[in-house]
């Protein structure tokens, strides 16, 4: 049985209340462990530890900080199997997906460990009587609040730049997937040599700990990845405190297939776009816009690809279960919504069944065709393997439909016409566009939203500016 406590100040810390909540296994719906239900005093303790560790870490030369983070990356690579198995067990992700996710986790530490060596301010020429320069200072204690869909990858992309730039961190993983992050913090301190208190993990309910973190006077910035309503609540508290936030929220990304695309590749890509991680992916391509003149032909190819998916607990499954019971129930509720809106699934449309699935939270990958963009199914983020196929006439029509959304996180374009690709990319109101494949991009490419998908950016060089504050020094000589 898994027992997950917080990791604070370089040691495992039980909740002051002594209370734990059950952690259920997504593959069986049975209890697999217990997770600490930390209270506000535990949060105070974590923030105090991070605050005490700050001066020494902040004042270290960047190259020395980088060396520790590189060592952490090396240990993550060495422990890839163990960390991956832990994350796979708590999320239900197919084991075959884990090596790539652990590689990404290590890459964040490698990338920011190196980058911090060349993160300089600039000299601003104001003539011979002045010496003017800028420097980038850390914020201090940074809070990192995380969702459950890709725990270590999402943690690393915020924690690596935060630590590299000299901040200390209190991370709050989802209460559904805390074990892998606690283990990452432990190896960071106990094996990689990160000073105790620099990277702390507090485990418990977000509705209690999140607001408490934002209200704490020593908290200087929060990076939040999660849903809109928790993001809004944090935003209200942050407004009171003038607390800087990075908000990485949800999406309803359009994946646009033009008639000149490689339709076989597009059908494969469009399938992965909405079924990777069982659709529990912020950038999932869940509105598939298909040009009218290829609509029927393309739908046949798409359905053939979806029919070939392997849903289940096995190592090489293409889709695992939904990670939480509440999310499993939420995804099912959209089958009723679709029926009320007069939609019938072309494939899927129910909970997946079969002996090998036990009592797990599996959903059949589902495609609805003939969807209108104003329907609930096309407007709301479902966070499950449900796809809406929406026909369009031409380029202008595709852009109009794609941009007619409150979200603006990601998009895909499938076309061999390079002029069209650039025109459409310029017109899309989203933070990241992938062309002729549908992937999560790279550690080096910025990720973040337009509109209600959030603000601020993670990943890439630009993230460094979100974990530092710019200071000007003006010297009269
Ligand atoms: P969630 O908002 O329910 O929870 C996210 C985190 O916030 C958890 O740690 C939770 O405990 C905490 N939390 C809950 N209530 C809070 C509150 N009032 N104040 C502060 N923190 C609170 O989201 P989820 O269900 O865990 O994850 C799914 C959502 O995350 C989806 O909307 C998805 O699109 C989004 N997401 C976005 C990105 C991105 O990069 N933009 C990446 C992954 C997931």
Check residue 119 and give its pLDDT: 86
Q: Which of 4, 147, 156, 207 to mutate to test the pocket of ligand 1 (most atoms within 8 A of CB)?
A: 147
Work out which ligand 1 atom sits closest to the CA atom of 448. Answer: 41
Check residue 31 and give its pLDDT: 97
Taking CA atoms only, the protein residue closest to ligand 1 atom 26 is: 147
Looking at the chain, the number of H-run helices and the number of E-run strands are 15, 23
The answer to whether the CB of 441 is under 6 A from ligand 1 is no
Catalytic residues: 149, 248, 282, 458
Residue numbers of the chain with a pLDDT score lower than 70: none
What distances in angstroms separate CA 337 from CA 240, 367, 473, one per listed residue?
38, 14, 58
Check residue 120 and give its pLDDT: 84
Structure tokens given for 211: 């607001």
- Max CA-CA distance within the chain? 80
Q: Contact, 24 vs 31, CB < 8 A?
A: yes
The answer to whether the CB of 440 is under 6 A from ligand 1 is no
pTM for the model stands at 0.97
How many whole angstroms separate alpha carbon 89 and alpha carbon 191? 23
Check residue 111 and give its pLDDT: 98
The alpha carbon of 291 and the centre of ligand 1 are apart by a number of angstroms equal to 34
Q: Which residues contact 234 (CB under 8 A, 6 or more apart)?
A: 145, 210, 211, 214, 222, 224, 245, 247
Task: Give the 3-state secondary structure of residue 56.
Answer: helix
The answer to whether the CB of 172 is under 6 A from ligand 1 is yes
The alpha carbon of 189 and the centre of ligand 1 are apart by a number of angstroms equal to 26
The answer to whether the CB of 380 is under 6 A from ligand 1 is no
Q: Which of 171, 227, 251, 326 to mutate to test the pocket of ligand 1 (most atoms within 8 A of CB)?
A: 227
Check residue 316 and give its pLDDT: 95
The alpha carbon of 293 and the centre of ligand 1 are apart by a number of angstroms equal to 39
Q: Which of 150, 222, 230 to mutate to test the pocket of ligand 1 (most atoms within 8 A of CB)?
A: 230
The answer to whether the CB of 146 is under 6 A from ligand 1 is yes
Taking CA atoms only, the protein residue closest to ligand 1 atom 10 is: 206
């Amino acid at each position: 049985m898994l027992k997950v406590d917080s990791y604070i100040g370089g040691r495992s810390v039980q909740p002051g209340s002594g209370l734990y909540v059950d952690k259920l296994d997504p593959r069986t719906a049975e209890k697999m462990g217990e997770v600490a239900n930390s209270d506000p005093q535990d949060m105070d303790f974590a923030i105090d530890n991070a605050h005490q560790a700050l001066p020494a870490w902040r004042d270290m030369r960047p190259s020395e900080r980088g060396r520790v983070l590189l060592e952490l990356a090396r240990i993550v690579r060495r422990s890839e199997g163990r960390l991956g198995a832990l994350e796979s067990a708590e999320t239900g992700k197919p084991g075959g997906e884990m090596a790539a996710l652990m590689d990404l986790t290590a890459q964040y530490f490698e990338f920011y460990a190196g980058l911090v060596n060349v993160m300089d301010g600039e000299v601003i020429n104001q003539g011979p009587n002045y010496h003017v320069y800028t420097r980038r200072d850390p914020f201090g204690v940074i809070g990192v609040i995380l969702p459950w869909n890709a725990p270590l990858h999402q943690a690393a992309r915020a924690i690596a730049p935060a630590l590299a730039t000299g901040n200390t961190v209190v991370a709050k993983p989802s209460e559904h997937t805390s074990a892998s992050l606690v283990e990452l913090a432990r190896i960071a301190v106990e094996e990689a040599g990160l000073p105790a208190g620099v990277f702390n993990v507090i485990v418990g309910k977000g509705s209690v700990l999140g607001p408490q973190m934002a209200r704490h006077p020593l908290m200087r910035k929060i990076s939040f990845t999660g849903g809109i309503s928790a993001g809004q609540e944090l935003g209200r508290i942050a407004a009171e405190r003038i607390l800087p936030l990075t908000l990485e929220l949800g999406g309803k990304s359009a994946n646009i297939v033009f008639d000149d695309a490689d339709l076989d590749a597009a059908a494969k890509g469009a399938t992965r776009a909405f079924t990777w991680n069982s659709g529990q992916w912020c950038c999932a391509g869940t509105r598939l816009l298909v040009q009218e003149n290829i609509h029927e032909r393309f739908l046949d190819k798409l359905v053939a690809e979806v029919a070939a998916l392997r849903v289940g607990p096995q190592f090489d499954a293409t889709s695992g279960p939904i990670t939480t019971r509440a999310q499993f129930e939420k995804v099912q509720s959209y089958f009723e919504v679709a029926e009320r809106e007069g939609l019938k699934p072309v494939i899927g449309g129910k909970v997946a069944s079969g002996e090998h699935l036990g009592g797990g939270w599996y959903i059949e990958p589902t495609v609805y065709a003939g969807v209108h963009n104003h329907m609930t199914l096309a407007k709301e983020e479902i966070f499950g393997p449900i796809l809406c196929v929406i026909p369009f006439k031409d380029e202008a029509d595709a852009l109009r439909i794609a941009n007619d959304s409150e979200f603006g996180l990601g998009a895909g374009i499938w076309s061999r016409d390079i002029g069209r690709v650039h025109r459409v990319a310029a017109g899309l109101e989203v933070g990241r566009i992938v062309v002729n494949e549908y992937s999560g991009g790279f550690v080096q490419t910025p990720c973040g939203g337009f509109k209600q998908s959030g603000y601020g950016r993670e990943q890439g060089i630009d993230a460094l500016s979100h974990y530092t504050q710019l200071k000007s020094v003006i010297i009269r000589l």
